[in-house]
A and B are shown apart, each in its own frame.
Chain A
């Protein structure tokens, strides 16, 4: 106890997150959440190449990569963390609570990610690498948390890596199959699609392939790459699920671009965009959406939905987002004077019935 005779040097008070978390209980919603990017893609498409590229890149960000065997019953997952610029990779185990899901609103995966964030004194981003056959839908549903939970993690975007050389084969091989190809799901749910290995095909083939990808999902941004060398701003901090971050959706209002696609593969997975110039009634549009998303009344399977809505008696532009059954409509900002107020809804899904959707939206007029 001799060293207790003299006080040590006191240190600067700082809101170090992992430390403050335990002690300060202020109510303010100042939690800076760490973005989670989900990376999907067929085996061999280049997911690992992308992950290694990000981990070793000179971006100064501290990034954790979680190799997710989601759906396979194991209690722990491996996390690789780069300790800063050019630093060594550190491996950690993330414990997935074999947990009582009972009456908790957060899935054990979310709890595990939160614990990872708390353990690290600083973490800038989390990459969740899924297995090749993963359907991103359950992951997206689990990670798209209510803002009210003020979680330390936040779904940032879904990135799908496709193999430019093999994608067409992968899309076509199931054309006649009744089972649903993961390749379509992975493209349909993506916010960003990395068309990897474009050096192995011609310029024309690349253009054609991009068209095919957009025929499934015309909202996603497609990036061509060789060995997954991409600008990281396309993958990190996209805020694709953030309704307050509407710049992406506002591009919907640039009316000229047609987002509706025709189904090139007879699988019925495509993008459909419908619009309605008259303001609509909020209650009616909720009921209509719930019939489609919850009751499956029209027998359509909507994977993703994004929209800008012009609501009756409101000067606020409203934003709609949906992932499978989960949806929210929130006011985003005031319409400006110059803007022509309109409703524009983009559906990505299976067996979308354009006429029924158009009629349904029209019926949402007051």
Chain B
């Protein structure tokens, strides 16, 4: 089985010099883990002939980057590594899957003492959450909890809308993070991602091929980018979680369709939510709609229960044929947050330990809501408000 697929895989590689089928590769590129496409050759002769120009790719990959960001680094901005637990002045080595790379991130933002903080705010380690029974038990919220969830989710929506209003070419994702951070604190909330397992910022900003968990950094948004902003607010002891993918300036048709389809995937998934429906059905709905549009569903990340805990049971995969346990019951609160890719569903993680990117470097979009199962169906706790900026063209009709 493996032999067959290997053969078909290799057959697609062409000589970087003459485009005949390639059977050899540059050993130095192998050591450096450089892409095979530019390192494949039909014969030693072709490799030899290409050597003088080919060898420059080795040097490029070893070049100490940071030139373009040296000003920032001298001001204390650094590249995030080790899942947020360390910083470095040198761009980490990685075979970046697309045009994007890590950028330096700013220093930690301040949270006033009077803001009530979750247990990870100080030392980066959640203690209550991983040990809670609610990792296995599907909690039915009390009316009092539900009321708190409504409040928190509304604040989270207002915070996300504030972020949406500042998005345009030239704005850095760090600036979006500042807006989210300040809008959250202004409403008396704590930005849940901040220091959650050492996540260094107050929201996730995922640009283009970043699937999710992008760390806000010094990169300026460019005309034609798509950017997802994922906000979670902790207020009165509970969490509200939502995200949307925005257009920066004018985007191409393919990106527009990708974002629109992702939006529809979430809409269609929400439409089936009511008591008695299996959680595993969500993946069938999302997968069907994405596949019909020729897009793929990310499999490594899923929706989750939410409430007094940021993440708890149930686990809600967005892919088809999953074995998710349980049926929906009135009083449960959870997120649905499909991530849809233009190309392969496979993901990889950047050296910062957080940002999940598409393995093929093609774009990815996501939408998320926090939902409450009601007796008759669903209440979208993070629903758009009349004041929410009408940023999606398909909503204007």
Contact = CB atoms under 8 A, between A and B. Distances in A.
Interface of A: 4, 6-15, 19-20, 22-28, 30, 32, 97-106, 144, 146-149, 290, 294, 325-328
A35 B374 CA distance: 43
A23 B2 contact: no
A11 B197 contact: no
A326 B278 CA distance: 13
A83 to B, nearest CB: 21
A146 B28 CA distance: 37
Contact of B302 (A20, A100, A103): A103
A34 to B, nearest CB: 12
B303 interface: yes
Contacts, number: 138
Given A19-B33, A106-B300, A148-B299, A26 B27 contact: no
26 contacts: A4-B58, A7-B26, A8-B26, A8-B27, A9-B44, A12-B23, A13-B10, A13-B13, A13-B22, A15-B6, A23-B95, A26-B9, A28-B9, A30-B9, A98-B197, A100-B196, A102-B197, A103-B302, A103-B303, A103-B311, A104-B301, A105-B315, A146-B323, A148-B319, A149-B299, A325-B326
B1 to A, nearest CB: 7
A19 B30 contact: yes
A7 B47 contact: yes
B48 A7 contact: yes
A22 B48 CA distance: 26
| Most chain A C-beta atoms within 10 Å of own C-beta, residue among B1, B83, B315, B325 | B325
A25 B359 contact: yes
B310 interface: yes
B70 interface: no
**Ordered nearest first, which 3 A-B pairs have the shortest CB separation?**
A30-B5, A10-B24, A7-B51
B23 A13 contact: yes
Grouping DSSP codes into helix (H, G, I), strand (E, B) and loop, the A interface class, with mixed when no group exceeds half, is loop
Interface of B: 1-2, 4-6, 8-10, 12-13, 22-28, 30, 33, 35-36, 40-41, 44, 47-48, 51, 54-55, 58, 83, 95, 97, 125, 130, 135, 196-197, 199, 212, 278, 296, 299-304, 310-311, 315, 317, 319-323, 325-327, 337, 343-346, 348, 359-360
Nearest to A19: B30
Contacts of B33: 19, 22-23
B26 A10 contact: yes
Given A4-B55, A4-B58, A15-B5, 13 more contacts: A7-B47, A8-B28, A10-B25, A10-B41, A12-B24, A15-B9, A24-B36, A25-B344, A26-B9, A28-B8, A30-B5, A104-B301, A326-B325
Given A7-B48, A25-B346, A15 B321 contact: no
Contacts of B95: 22-23
A148 B321 contact: yes
B133 to A, nearest CB: 14
Contacts of A290: 278, 327
A100 B6 contact: no
Nearest to B95: A22
A185 to B, nearest CB: 17
Nearest to B337: A103
| Most chain A C-beta atoms within 10 Å of own C-beta, residue among B4, B28, B135 | B28
B344 A13 contact: no
A28 B36 contact: no
A99 B197 contact: yes
A11 B24 contact: yes
B35 A23 contact: yes
B129 to A, nearest CB: 9
Contacts of B326: 294, 325
Nearest to A146: B322
| Most chain B C-beta atoms within 10 Å of own C-beta, residue among A12, A15, A105 | A105
Contacts of A10: 24-27, 41, 44, 47
A4 B197 CA distance: 44
| Most chain B C-beta atoms within 10 Å of own C-beta, residue among A13, A98, A104 | A13
B301 A103 contact: yes
B136 to A, nearest CB: 9
Nearest to B44: A10
B9 A24 contact: yes
Nearest to B97: A25
Contacts of A7: 26, 47-48, 51, 54-55
A68 to B, nearest CB: 18
Contacts of B310: 102
Contacts of A27: 296, 344-345
A98 B353 CA distance: 12
A290 B324 CA distance: 12
B27 A294 contact: no
Nearest to A17: B2
B248 to A, nearest CB: 25
A102 B311 contact: yes
B302 A105 contact: yes
A235 to B, nearest CB: 22
A101 to B, nearest CB: 7
Contact of A103 (B10, B97, B296, B304): B304
Contacts of A101: 130, 135, 311
A11 B325 contact: no
A328 B323 contact: yes
B325 A325 contact: yes
Contacts of A147: 321
A97 B327 CA distance: 30
B9 to A, nearest CB: 6
| Most chain B C-beta atoms within 10 Å of own C-beta, residue among A11, A101, A325 | A101
Contacts of B327: 290, 294
A15 B344 CA distance: 19
Contact of B9 (A12, A19, A20): A20
B191 to A, nearest CB: 15
A6 B51 CA distance: 8
